[in-house]
């Protein structure tokens, strides 16, 4: 999937904030679209604000935030770190949708990218869902 306008990115971010984005549209690409939007918006601190926004969005769409489903702190924070890394390395004048498309086209765009850094047992543990748990395979270092 790729995006074609900033309006698409705005709609996703506004939709999760207002709890109106259809659940079927909350995809891997949409997560990165929201991450870029919140990272680039000076009114927000993505790493601080997105967890509670996602938590509320999940509840509003019928997704329970439990030890086995819903919000996942380690995945959210790792994805925000990847987003910050990618956004910092592209031309700041690029439109948001281009920044999102670059992330989607990168290794981070693959839904299983985290498994290069975390074992399934660690990444999908209750602890990693609740709080940040560092990688157990190799450090999360961006070059």
Domain assignments of the chain as residue spans, ordered by start: 6-111
Provide the pLDDT for residue 52: 97
99 and 83 Cβ atoms separated by less than 8 Å: no
Provide the pLDDT for residue 142: 80
Which residue is it, tokens 């981070």? Answer: 108
Predicted confidence (pLDDT) at residue 124 exceeds the cutoff of 90:
yes
Predicted confidence (pLDDT) at residue 132 exceeds the cutoff of 80:
yes
Provide the pLDDT for residue 18: 98
Predicted confidence (pLDDT) at residue 12 exceeds the cutoff of 90:
yes
* Both tokens assigned to 89: 């390395």
Predicted confidence (pLDDT) at residue 13 exceeds the cutoff of 90:
yes
* Both tokens assigned to 28: 């891997």
Mean pLDDT calculated for residue range 15-29:
96
Q: What is the mean pLDDT of the chain?
A: 96
Q: Look up the pTM and report it.
A: 0.94
Q: How many residues would you count in the chain?
A: 143
Dump pLDDT digits (tens) for 50-103.
999 999 999 999 999 999 999 999 999 999 999 999 999 999 999 999 999 999
What confidence tier does 1 reach under pLDDT thresholds 50, 70, 90?
A: confident
* Both tokens assigned to 92: 């700041």
Predicted confidence (pLDDT) at residue 143 exceeds the cutoff of 90:
no
28-40 vs 96-105: helix axis angle to the nearest 10? 130
122 and 83 Cβ atoms separated by less than 8 Å: no
Which of these, 129, 116, 106, 4, lies nearest to 54 by C-alpha position?
Answer: 129
Alpha carbon distances (Å) from 68 to 1, 33, 74:
27, 25, 13
123 burial level (CB within 10 Å; 0-12, 13-18, 19+): buried
């Amino acid at each position: 999937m790729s995006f074609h306008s900033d309006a698409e990115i705005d709609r996703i971010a506004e939709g999760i904030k207002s709890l109106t984005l259809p659940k079927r549209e909350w995809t891997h690409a949409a997560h990165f679209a929201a991450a870029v939007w919140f990272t680039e918006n000076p009114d927000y601190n993505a790493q601080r604000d997105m967890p509670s926004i996602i938590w509320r969005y999940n509840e509003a769409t019928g997704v329970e935030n439990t030890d086995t489903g819903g919000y996942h702190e380690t995945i959210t924070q790792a994805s925000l770190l990847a987003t910050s890394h990618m956004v910092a390395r592209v031309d700041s004048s690029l439109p948001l949708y281009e920044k999102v498309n670059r992330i989607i086209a990168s290794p981070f765009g693959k839904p299983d990218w985290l498994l290069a850094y975390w074992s399934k047992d660690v990444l999908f543990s209750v602890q990693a869902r609740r709080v940040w748990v560092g990688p157990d395979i190799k450090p999360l270092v961006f070059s």
